[in-house]
Amino acid sequence: MSHTRPWNVAVIGECMIELHKEGGHLVQTFGGDTLNTAAYLSRMCGKDVHVEYVSAVGASDTFSREMLDFWHDCGVHSSLSQKISGKLPGLYAIDVDASGERHFQYWRSEAAVRGCFETPEAEKVLSRLSGFDAVHLSGISLAVLYPESRERLLCALEGLAEQGVSLSFDFNFRPHLWGTNPEKNAAPHFRRLTRVCRWVFLSPEELRAAGYDCCDCDDPGFLPALAELGAEEVIIKNGGKPCLVLNNRTGKTRTVQLGCMLEPRDTTAAGDSFTAGYLAAVHYGLSAEEAVHRAHRLASAVIMYPGAIIPADVTPAVFADCQAD
């Protein structure tokens, strides 16, 4: 499929210094939920997409410089990411259990990204988002921001939706980031954002973050709750179980069976890569069913390697048949 110009996508969020164990050694790299999605989206679409990461890093530290280099190596651009003096990136460590499930420890209380929409450059950054075809962010993108930065971002996103920019939102609900009453604190922000989104991704249990108690696909109130979110398309990521897609424009619900999945080595970025694969598929005009299958194929490869961003040479070329020669 040929395009007159690349699909311009802005991805908002936080990239952190990542530590994980590999072969008995501690390995340092970089990762973050939306950065992972940005990297895999760029890798899936190649020259058919231009991905900008909207974030903040330190102005002079070595880790921030190396982080920006890492983004560029992943095909992710940084012209909308601010460099803030006196700040540093956050850090997280991954511990993977015998089943491949990951557990995180974080150090991010003073991370550069937290107040990035309160800086002198913030208005300029937010205004430039109107030039993009799509903007993607997650629940973590919202949670790590100071309240004033969060409010300024949400107002900007509502304006972008009115202008016709396609918004996508991955719940990625992390209770520890939302204070002593996580669901109550997160719900107003999540509901506000989902109303203006084209695509929303979540797991069944994450529906609590939008203020609903029906967190099982078999619950009679589950589908009505998804419809109330207001997004044009809601995609339920449910691990290795069938994926549910609700299109609120047509009223149709699809249950998509997934192929077999090998025993995972590390589930880090499984959901993030799935989101990237789905967004790539809808950009190429594929059906919801095909989007799920291709997204699942990518995620199935990601979980077989340690860390968030797997080597390019082992990443399946899921959309090679869609790209222009």
- The residues carrying an active-site annotation are 272
Question: What is the Cα–Cα distance from 289 to 257, expressed in whole angstroms?
Answer: 9
Query: Tell me, what DSSP letter sits at residue 305?
Result: S
Helix or strand or coil: residue 120? coil
| Helix 288-302 with 270-283: angle, nearest 10 deg | 140
CA distances from 111 to 14, 34, 226 (A): 9, 16, 33
Question: What is the Cα–Cα distance from 122 to 196, expressed in whole angstroms?
Answer: 22
CB atoms within 10 A of CB 78: 18
Cα angle value 308/302/41 (rounded, 5°)? 75
Helix or strand or coil: residue 218? coil
Helix or strand or coil: residue 130? helix
What number of residues does the chain have?
Answer: 325
Phi and psi at residue 119, to the nearest 5°:
-80, 165
Question: What is the Cα–Cα distance from 15 to 41, expressed in whole angstroms?
Answer: 16
